[in-house]
Structure 1
Amino acid sequence: MTQPVSDERQVANDIVEENARAIGQLVGLLEALPGNLYRQCFGHRKQHVIGKHVRHIIDHYSALLSATASPGALLDYENRNRDLSLETDRRAGGSRLSDILRELRDRFGAEYASELAMLHNSDGQRQVVTTSVERELVFLASHTIHHMAIIGMLAEQAGVEVDAEFGVHPSTLRYLQRQTSGLAISA
């Protein structure tokens, strides 16, 4: 399905803004977290760390930005940078997320090539698949919100108050709003 260019740009802007809301919520939580909580290990095996989830989110956005920075580059989510400083320094993590947000708006708020090739490793077989910037932005929004739900749960376990909408997908928020509106009408 081909859309007029102005519609494609609006769709991309809307998807970028969905990512921006999630990133903004995450940056806000990071600003409120004590630094030691960002590095604290949770769980029986001590493998759950807020900073690791933040770094993982950053790596995925960085992969998309890197792939769209030069024509012909492949998007590769598997071979990520994994900068350990982003796992241990919440200010560095928050700063990089803010930079990513600016880059997303700058890059996809203007003219850009939508088609994208992605390297996918399935059972050890590396394959190139066709995707689009818009599809990957949709994926990144869901991926980010999924990890934010885990981050929120870890923060709450440590006694940090987390906003009720943190880590909740916009589709779920819309559903809940419809449910509340329906109850108000029937009451």
Structure 2
Amino acid sequence: MRKTDSMLNSQLEILAQGHAYLESVTKEDYSQIVAPNFISSAGSHMRHIIDHYQSLMTGFGINNIDYDSRLRGSNIESNPCEAIKKIAEIASWIEQLSTDDFNKPLLLSSEVSIKSKNVQTVTTSLARELIFVGSHAVHHYAMISQITFAQKASFDQNFGLAPSTATFLREKSQQSQLKSLQS
């Protein structure tokens, strides 16, 4: 398998995790803010994830990515079915990408100051930005996982687990099994 195929598959796996969560959550739990521990709902986090992927899709088309341009407050925050549709659109876009797309130079514009508007623009690539949005999604899945835990709902223990953490846990489990066999 080529590296690009592996990267695309990893993105599809990340999106599949989100899809599985969305299929399992009630509309009420999805939009509930569990105060005082959290200031946003699982739906807000999912909308934020989707916004980043959509910014990447749009930016790829015009050669300028702007993650600051998002659809805050959209119905994706309150309706898991709408989020499922958007995740399907994103997955379809990812499936259409080619090896040549990965190294295409792109511009990335982002605000960098909280005290005043200061937008910086740097050169990046689609491959680098896919790594970012995937990692960003996993980070927010971890937040959603904590919200779900606070709601006392059952959930997949692997949801929101970083790939490197999953590898660490697998290796730790294998080492533990070997030690018990040797005892």
Q: 2:61 is paired with a residue of what secondary structure?
A: coil
Higher mean C-alpha displacement, 173-182 vs 75-84: 75-84
- The offset of 1:81, in angstroms, is 2.6
- Structure 2 runs not aligned, ≥5 long: none
Residues 13-67 of structure 1 show CA distances to partners (whole Å, capped at 9, x for unaligned) of: 2222222112111111111111111111112286220110010000000011001
Paired position in structure 2 for 1:4: none
Aligned to 2:52: 60
2:160 aligned with 1:167, yes or no? yes
* C-alpha spacing 1:81/1:12, structure 2 compared with 1 (3 Å): farther
Match of 2:83 in 1: 93
- TM-score, length-normalised on structure 2? 0.88
Distance 2:35 2:129 in 1: 31
Distance 1:45 1:161, change over 3 A: closer
Distance 1:160 1:42 in 2: 12
After superposition, give the CA deviation of every residue in 1:140-185 in whole Å (9 maximum; x if it has no partner).
Answer: 1110001001111111222321111110011111111111111222
Q: 1:122 aligns with which of 82, 88, 112?
A: 112
Correspondence list, 1:91-170, <5 A: 91-106=81-96, 108-109=97-98, 111-112=100-101, 114-123=104-113, 124-170=117-163
Q: Is the 8 A contact 2:4 2:99 kept in 1?
A: no
Q: What secondary structure is seen at the aligned counterpart in 2 of 1:117?
A: strand
Compute the RMSD of aligned alpha carbons.
Answer: 1.8
Q: Which residue of 1 aligns with 2:26?
A: 34
Matched residue pairs, number?
176
What is the CA-CA distance between 1:127 and the residue it aligns to?
Answer: 1.6
Greater RCO (CA < 8 Å, at least 6 residues apart): 1
2-structure distance, mates of 1:117, 1:20 = 24
- Which is further off, 74-83 or 160-169? 74-83
C-alpha separation in 1, matches of 2:95 and 2:162: 20
Work out whether residues 34 and 151 of structure 2, in 8 Å CA contact, stay in contact via their aligned partners in 1.
no
Q: Distance in 2 between matches of 1:158 and 1:25?
A: 19
Distance 1:166 1:12 in 2: 24
Which 5+ residue runs of structure 1 have no aligned equivalent?
A: 1-6
**Farther off after superposition, 143-152 or 75-84:** 75-84
Aligned to 1:78: 68
Aligned pair 1:50/2:42, yes or no? yes
Indicate the SS of the match to 1:48: coil
Distance 1:80 1:97 in 2: 16
